[in-house]
Amino acid sequence: MPQNIEKTEAVMTAAPVIPVLIVEDPAKAVPMAEALVRGGLPAIEITLRTPRALEAIRLVAENVEGAIPGAGTVLNEEQYEAALAAGSQFIVSPGATPALLDVADKHDVPLLPGAATASEVMYLLERGYSRLKFFPAEQAGGASYLKSLSSPLAGAKFCPTGGVTLDKAPDYLKLQNVLCVGGSWIADAKAIASDDWAGIEERARAAATLRG
C-alpha cells in the first residue's frame, strides 16, 4: 500500500523536532528516551549505525511511556524487518531504493524515505510517498533550496535533517513544505556517553517550543 499520510504525519507533527540518535550502549537508551519525552520530544529516531541499536529500540519500546521509537539508517529489507520486530513505530532512511519501498509497501508503518533532488522526490511521489526526509539538508542546499522545491513539487512535505541546529531549525520550520526537522544536536554521542540527561532534557525542551 502507498504511504499512510495520516499515520506518517502523526509522527512528523508530534513535535517540531525528531532527535536522531547514535546509541552505542543500550543501557543508555531508556534514560535518554525518558529525558527526551520529558522535554517534549516523543518521536525519537535511533539509527541502525551501531551493533546494538535494535536492542536500544526494543528497550525504549518496552519501557518508555509516551515515546514513539523509530529506526533510522534503515537501508534494506532485512534491516526494515528487524527494526519492526524490535518495536519501531516508524522507519527512516537516508535515501530510497525500489527494494526498500517494496517491503515498506507491505506494512502500515510510516516510512520516511530520504530525497535530496527534484528527481528523487518525483520518483517517491510516483511510488506513493509524499512525506519525506530531506537529507542531507544543509549540505544539499539548506532552507532556500528546499523552498525552491515547494512550488513545482507542492505535494511533497519534508523533515529536513543533516546539519540542522537550534539556530537553523526556524528557517526550515517556516517553510510550507516542512512538517518537522531532524537532528543530533539535542542528544549527541558525547551527551549520551556522559549520561547528561538534564542537558538532553533542556535541549529537548528548547527544541519542542521551536516555531517557524
Ligand X SMILES: O=C[C@H](O)COP(=O)(O)O
Rounded Cα distance, 98 and 161, in Å = 22
Shortest distance (Å) from residue 152 CB to ligand X:
26
Q: 3-class DSSP state for residue 99?
A: helix
State which residue, 88 or 93, has the beta carbon closest to ligand PYR. Answer: 93
Residues that bind ligand X (rule: CB under 6 A) add up to a total of: 8
Q: How far is CA 48 from CA 6, 53, 55, in A?
A: 25, 5, 10
Per the residue annotation, which of 34, 45, 157, 201 is the catalytic one? 45
For residue 24 the three cell numbers come to 552505542
Among residues 27, 37, 94, the alpha carbon closest in space to that of 58 is found at 27
Among residues 8, 130, 161, 177, the one that binds ligand X under rule CB under 6 A: 161
| 92 binds ligand PYR per the rule CB under 6 A | yes
Q: 3-class DSSP state for residue 110?
A: coil
Per the residue annotation, which of 77, 78, 106, 133 is the catalytic one? 133
**Matching residue, cell 543508555:** 28
State which residue, 39 or 114, has the beta carbon closest to ligand PYR. Answer: 114
| 114 binds ligand X per the rule CB under 6 A | no
**Interacting residues toward ligand PYR by CB under 6 A:** 20, 47, 72-73, 92-94, 135, 161, 182
The residues that are catalytic are: 45, 133
